[in-house]
A and B are shown apart, each in its own frame.
Chain A
Amino acid sequence: MAKKEYDVLIVGSGHSGGMAASVLTKKGISCLMLNAGPEADYEKDRVTKAAHELPWRGFNKPGRLSHVYQANEFNANQWVDEKENPYTYDPAKPYNWVRVRLLGGRSLFWARQSFRLSDFEFKAAEIDGTGDNWPISHDDLAPYYSQVEGIFKVVGRKEGWPQFPDGNFIEPSYPPDSETIKKISELCKAREIGVSKMRSAQGQNGLASSINLLLPDAVATGKLDVVSNAIVREISVDKKTGRANGAHFVDRHSRREMHVKARVVVLAAGTLESTRLLLNSGIANSSGMLGHYLHDQIYGVSVVASVPEARDGKAKPGQMGGSVFIPRFRNLRKTEKRNFIKGYCMIIGSGGSASPNHFAAYGDELQTKLDSYAGSCVSGSIYGERVARYENHVRINKDVKDAWGIPVLHVDVKDSDNELNMAKDSADTMEELFKAAGWEILSKTDKFYPPGYSIHEVGTARMGDNPKTSVLNKWNQSHDIKNLFVVDGSGFVTCGWQNPTMTILSLSMRASEYLADEMKKGNV
């Protein structure tokens, strides 16, 4: 017997859940937030250590977190334990699902790159000639982006480019560009490639998470209860009305089964966990689209070059250092014909050093080369958009269960020629730029990490106007169950090349304001 009925149950405590809690509680709506993991104590749980003090000397325990390339022995305990929380996939189609279940979720470790999507993404089908548009445009989301940018204190240079929408930015104060960065900028300009600077959230003290920027306001209203270590197993539905009425959850430590009641359910557990929960609950899938169109971004393509005049410690003051950010510049015109659709951004940094693997050398010869090339390198990398395709999907694997007896996800995702061709184009482009600058190419790869690596997985409960081809409407509201909302990345139709966090936050804010209004009107 549940002790209390809340207005809204929020599942998940990351950016999207934190935003929902912040918006709803400020409007006087009582909320319960369930989070699957514990609360980290930053004083107790972190300590400075040397690698030799660790059991595996910094190598990490062999076989642990094999899908989390970001993991090392220092940070291994922050990620979800893959043995407790497995997922499955065909070995020929690997997927790297990178998860955090601490209170605050992945927002605790967000790199803070802050971009808006543009109408090149919201209306992608119009320029790509294939795929689907979002049911909203940049104009619909712009007021929410602006508010989010204010809360997160986004620093950025305004450009006035349609593929890189400006926002409510704090004016940046960049140091003068180095000679190498000026050179790259000139070469890009000659090729009609726009060069800008990284846009990044300042947050507070380097942290821009839900636990320091969103949840404190919600807690202060007195309208938010937060339960940690609560692993939601199933959304409960009133059989008479068909409406969601709460959730069954399992206590992480004791495995005790519990139930909570709520008038509205908001899922914010992260794209794949929210979809897993819906699939395990057997709801919100009259379209048959739930779980489909999983996509993210390609990372890993890189080119490294060395500036000959800067070797052997001969770099002049102002020659090396700094970086540029080059937003999408491919396929911005319908007339542009390439062997791929969509595009990628490039990040080029100056002043780094070479890696041992750049050279066919070892011992003294290797050390001599490393010393010679130290500080002389320029490196380029990309974030490229993967195409959202129906066949890339997740489903429940009833044969495998997590440590709490909940069936896991099977991920079935494969890259297409579009991703391969885009990667090749980006590596060739960076190589051409570096060669044109007169620099020595040290390494070039058009290979990239498996899907999921970017931690930008989106889709699987995409939004749309047509209930037959989408799971959510344009307000992140289930077409099937009007008092069920999904406010994380699940609703994305296309991901773009941009870090999705600003868009997730803005969509969650927009959906939460809509929900509050609808509750006030008695419609939900």
Chain B
Amino acid sequence: MKRRRFLSAFAAAPAVTSLLSEEAAAQQAAPPAAAAGRAGRGAGGQGNGGGRGGSSEVPKIPVVEADEAGATVARYFSATQYAALRKLAGMLAPPLKGNIGALDCDAVEFLDFLISASPADRQQLYKGGLDGLNAAARKQFGKGFGELNNAQADAILKPLVVPVAWVYDPPKDPLKHFIFEAHQDIRTATRNSLEATKALANSGRRGFGGVGLYWNPIDPV
């Protein structure tokens, strides 16, 4: 019982301790000018902004996400690669049963950005895969993959989509490997988009909204 009471106190303690110790440390360490400035601030006041008032008095300005205001600029893949990726995304993740499809959000543009920042082996997987789709399309239909109609694209894609028992053991064939990875990435980029989250919320349906407990950087060096 004694132990439980102590633990309850301990559980509540860190926030208080943290504030007290920060304040005490600031009292000791701050130069006189800053100390004078602190007189008008409450706990949690900012740095050396003497006389700005307590944090509760500083208005919190609402901001919107960049995705609310702007669109991702795609600039990594070549025009034919990008067109193939758009076609692929539309085929693999179309809008279904009221859900957002890959082309209803900026999943393709986001993947262009993501792959541009990825390690070289992943970049090669994508570029090689998109080039492979284009080559197959030209051989079979005389035009790039991005220009195919859905039936033609299906004819190329069907043999390339294979079951994978374990995501860390992808297909050995490079093109099948690419399709497997791209399929996962397109679905994720779509599902985690602002548009998909809004659509889910508006529909009133339950489902994966990509919400989680995020750890901020902890006392970074």
Contact = CB atoms under 8 A, between A and B. Distances in A.
Given A51-B192, A63-B119, A356-B184, A77 B216 contact: yes
A367 interface: yes
Contact of B215 (A45, A63, A360, A403): A45
Nearest to B219: A38
Nearest to B167: A357
B221 A252 contact: yes
A443 B165 contact: yes
Contact of A219 (B10, B67, B209, B212): B10
A230 to B, nearest CB: 13
A59 interface: yes
B205 to A, nearest CB: 13
A1 interface: no
Given A62-B122, A363-B94, A53 B65 contact: yes
A465 to B, nearest CB: 37
A360 B218 contact: no
Interface residues of B, number: 58
Main secondary structure of the interface of A (DSSP, over half): loop
A40 B218 contact: yes
Contact of A50 (B162, B209, B219): B209
A367 B192 contact: no
Given A57-B192, A356-B183, 10 more contacts: A40-B215, A48-B211, A78-B218, A216-B7, A216-B10, A217-B3, A300-B166, A362-B161, A363-B92, A445-B166
10 A-B pairs with the lowest CB-CB distances in the bound complex, closest first = A51-B210, A38-B219, A51-B192, A443-B165, A62-B118, A445-B166, A445-B165, A74-B212, A49-B214, A357-B164
Interface in B156-211: 157-158, 161-169, 180, 183-185, 187-189, 191-194, 196-197, 209-211
Given A52-B197, A367-B96, A59 B214 contact: no
B206 to A, nearest CB: 13
A53 B191 CA distance: 13
B70 interface: no
B215 A77 contact: yes
Contacts of B62: none
Interface in A20-58: 37-54, 56-58
B18 interface: yes
Interface centre among B93, B117, B218 (most CB of A within 10 A): B218
A63 B93 CA distance: 26
Interface of B: 3, 6-7, 10-11, 14-15, 18, 65, 67, 91-94, 96-97, 110, 114, 117-119, 122, 157-158, 161-169, 180, 183-185, 187-189, 191-194, 196-197, 209-219, 221
Interface string A304-324: 000000000000000000000
A418 interface: no
Contacts of A358: 163
B182 to A, nearest CB: 10
A59 B7 contact: no
B211 to A, nearest CB: 5
A106 to B, nearest CB: 15
Interface residues of A, number: 64
B4 to A, nearest CB: 9
Nearest to A213: B7
Contacts of B162: 360
Interface centre among A44, A51, A403, A445 (most CB of B within 10 A): A51
Contacts of A443: 163-166
Nearest to A79: B215
B55 to A, nearest CB: 14
A390 interface: no
A41 B18 contact: yes
A56 B194 CA distance: 12
A444 interface: yes
A130 interface: no
A39 to B, nearest CB: 8
A56 B188 CA distance: 11
A217 B2 CA distance: 11
Contacts of B97: 367
A61 to B, nearest CB: 8
B91 A363 contact: yes
A362 B6 contact: no
Interface in A275-310: 300, 302
Contacts of B91: 362-363
Contacts of A49: 211-212, 214
Given A443-B165, A445-B169, A54 B214 contact: yes
A212 B11 contact: yes
Interface string A190-205: 0000000000000010
Contact of A57 (B11, B183, B189, B214): B189
Nearest to B10: A216
Contacts of A417: none
B166 to A, nearest CB: 4
Nearest to A51: B210
Contacts of A229: 219
Contacts of B67: 52
Contacts of A449: 168
B166 A447 contact: yes
19 contacts: A37-B219, A41-B218, A44-B18, A47-B216, A48-B214, A50-B192, A52-B193, A54-B214, A59-B189, A62-B119, A72-B212, A74-B214, A77-B216, A78-B218, A219-B10, A360-B161, A362-B93, A362-B161, A403-B221
A209 to B, nearest CB: 12
